[in-house]
């Protein structure tokens, strides 16, 4: 029976989301909010019981804060009746998700998420919303289309969300049976060394920080590599003298990702930038309001007098 508790909690959360998506009075919305937070607290308790090992209390508190902000902002994003406010809640989802990535020591993912989604993608969303929110007539500037205020298929959306939540909870509580084997430490050392050798300034500073009097460059080994490894860590050889390198001076995870993007996938990186730029230009063109000039405006544009004088009496018939 204990194995069914996570799925029951997901089902309760899906029911709460359905109450928030469908049209209803304020009491129903409050009931859905209370039920949703209760289901979330239940899932947190269940997952905390199956995660092995000790957890840093500071990380746990930050995880709960960022997780609560992410989920509540995501729910408000899809239930708010104003699309512009939904886009702002989307920013909250991105920022809090970046905080979760920072807790996982995935700095590149955190900043890339903010730059791409809270930057370029959100600007495109806002332009599309500006286009969709244009009033049908100049006298109805505050009108909001019905399809922007109410969910079209709340039941179908809740079912899809329930399937996704069940999959994630199952992977969290029961584990994955086909995980790849951990990367061998010698392979990781070789990768770190190869990247540091391709960063000559950082490589030289890392070596000279330990031995300022060393005569550059180091002596390579039989394979042509300057950085070598033993049980005590990385070192370089200057003739018969071995100089240790501080492991903290080795390339970070962010440097590995950045080097891989620039060195291995430069065309894909540039293509992604061009696509985002074209999307922004297209959104600007689509969001431009088409203004139809009357006959008097067209005559003024070409230097002729208007056919109908203004209220001040200016202008005469041609």
Burial class of residue 210, CB neighbours in 10 A (0-12, 13-18, 19+): middle
Higher per-residue pLDDT: 199 or 148: 199
- If asked whether residues 143 and 14 sit together in one domain, one would say yes
Residue 140's pLDDT is what?
54
- If asked whether residues 191 and 168 sit together in one domain, one would say no
Stretch 106-117: mean pLDDT, rounded? 84
Q: 126: domain CATH number?
A: 1.20.120
- If asked whether residues 165 and 218 sit together in one domain, one would say no
Whether 250 is covered by a domain: the verdict is no
Confidence check: pLDDT of 196 > 70: yes
Q: Quick: pLDDT tens for 270-309.
A: 888 888 788 777 767 765 655 555 666 667 767 777 766 6
Whether 44 is covered by a domain: the verdict is yes
Whether 162 is covered by a domain: the verdict is yes
Whether 312 is covered by a domain: the verdict is no
- If asked whether residues 138 and 204 sit together in one domain, one would say no
Q: Quick: pLDDT tens for 21-37.
A: 877 788 888 888 888 88
Residue 315's pLDDT is what?
47
- pTM across the whole model: 0.62
Number of domains in the chain: 2
Give all strands of the β-sheet with 233-238 in edge-to-edge order: 227-230, 233-238, 241-244
- If asked whether residues 112 and 221 sit together in one domain, one would say no
Q: Residue 213 is part of which domain span?
A: 185-245
């Amino acid at each position: 029976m204990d194995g069914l508790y996570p799925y029951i909690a997901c089902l309760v959360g899906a029911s709460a989301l359905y109450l928030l998506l469908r049209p209803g009075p304020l009491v129903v919305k409050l009931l859905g909010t209370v039920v949703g937070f209760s289901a979330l607290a239940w899932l947190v308790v269940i997952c905390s019981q199956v995660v092995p090992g000790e957890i840093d209390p500071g990380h746990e508190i930050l995880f709960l804060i960022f997780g609560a902000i992410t989920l509540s902002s995501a729910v408000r994003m899809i239930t708010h009746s104003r699309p512009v406010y939904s886009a702002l809640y989307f920013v909250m989802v991105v920022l809090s998700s970046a905080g979760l990535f920072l807790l996982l020591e995935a700095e590149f993912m955190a900043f890339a998420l903010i730059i791409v989604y809270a930057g370029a993608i959100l600007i495109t969303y806002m332009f599309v919303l500006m286009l969709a929110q244009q009033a049908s007539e100049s006298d109805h500037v505050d009108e909001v289309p019905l399809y922007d205020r109410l969910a079209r298929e709340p039941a179908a959306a809740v079912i899809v969300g329930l399937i996704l939540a069940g999959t994630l909870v199952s992977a969290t509580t029961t584990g994955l049976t086909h995980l790849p084997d951990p990367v061998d430490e010698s392979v990781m050392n070789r990768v770190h060394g190869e990247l540091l050798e391709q960063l000559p300034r950082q490589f030289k500073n890392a070596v000279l920080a330990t031995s300022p009097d060393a005569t550059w460059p180091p002596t390579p080994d039989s394979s042509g590599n300057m950085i070598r490894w033993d049980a005590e860590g990385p070192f370089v050889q200057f003739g018969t003298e071995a100089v240790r390198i501080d492991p903290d001076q080795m390339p970070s995870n962010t440097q590995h990702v950045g080097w891989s993007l620039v060195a291995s996938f430069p065309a894909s990186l540039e293509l992604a930038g061009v696509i985002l730029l074209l999307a922004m230009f297209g959104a600007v063109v689509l969001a431009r309001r088409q203004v139809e000039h009357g006959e008097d405006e067209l005559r003024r544009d070409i230097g002729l007098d208007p056919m109908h004088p203004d209220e001040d009496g200016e202008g005469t018939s041609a």
